[in-house]
Amino acid sequence: MPLANPSILYIHGLNSSPASLKASQLLCAMTRLGLAANLRVPALHHHPRQAIAQLDALIGELGRPVLVGSSLGGYYATHLAERHALRALLINPAVRPHQLFEGHLGPQQNFYSDETWELTADHVTALAELEVPPPQDPARYQVWLQTADETLDYRHAQAYYRACALRIQAGGDHGFQGFAEHLPMLFAFAGIDAQLWRDIDFSDL
């Protein structure tokens, strides 16, 4: 495993999993580059405190991974990037998610595993505990937003991450359409050797 190539820690969103489309495409791409061992895609616990404990353990294992966080995973990634001074690429990230759950407490189901669980006030409290001030170091962040996100208003992330490098694409959806085609930008941001990926077409993933 080339020492020059960093590890990537992918952080999925609420009720998602390592089987999500973006996580699967990233794993396929890293495998194609011969860097599957550099990627971790954990199945996160639904409770924020336990999820953060999982992620902290993986950061300890990997050293200084580049964080890639989607939706609620973007919120987790921001907290961890600020606490550990890591780089983070955020995809349609949630901003202040603890303010979004009013009227939505109760039974939940994971879209992929069919696991059922109860969203409680303690989940919301735990999410609030993770909030950090807006990042001020644009060099450590890249934020990808699509304006037709049907779950989150992209303008909240645009305002919160205004000091960071923003890539705002018209249209799309919450899952971020065209993610595979954007993988070269992800690899460039992560610092992966361009000789490994610059001649590869990832659109077939």
* Band of pLDDT at residue 1, cut at 50, 70 and 90: very low
Average pLDDT over residues 113-118: 91
Say which CATH topology domain 8-98+108-195 has: Rossmann fold (3.40.50)
Q: So where are the chain's domains? A: 8-98+108-195
* Band of pLDDT at residue 102, cut at 50, 70 and 90: confident
Say which amino acid occupies 46: H
Average pLDDT over residues 140-159: 97
* Band of pLDDT at residue 137, cut at 50, 70 and 90: confident
In b/e form, how buried is each residue of 1-18, taking b as 16+ CB within 10 angstroms?
A: eeeebbbbbbbbbbbbbb
Is residue 73 within 8 A of residue 127, CB to CB? The reply is no
Q: What is the pLDDT of residue 4?
A: 65
Work out the mean pLDDT of the chain and round it to a whole number.
94
Q: Dump pLDDT digits (tens) for 155-167.
A: 999 999 999 999 9
Q: In this model, does residue 133 exceed pLDDT 80?
A: yes
Neighbours of 83 (CB within 10 A): 13
Q: Name, in order, each residue with C-beta under 8 angstroms of 134's C-beta and a sequence gap of 6 or more.
A: 160, 161, 162, 163
For helices 48-62 and 121-129, the axis angle rounded to 10 degrees is: 40
Q: What is the pLDDT of residue 61?
A: 94
* Band of pLDDT at residue 169, cut at 50, 70 and 90: very high
Q: Name, in order, each residue with C-beta under 8 angstroms of 100's C-beta and a sequence gap of 6 or more.
A: 94
Q: In this model, does residue 49 exceed pLDDT 90?
A: yes
Distances from the Cα of 175 to the Cαs of 16, 41, 50, 118, in angstroms? 11, 17, 24, 24
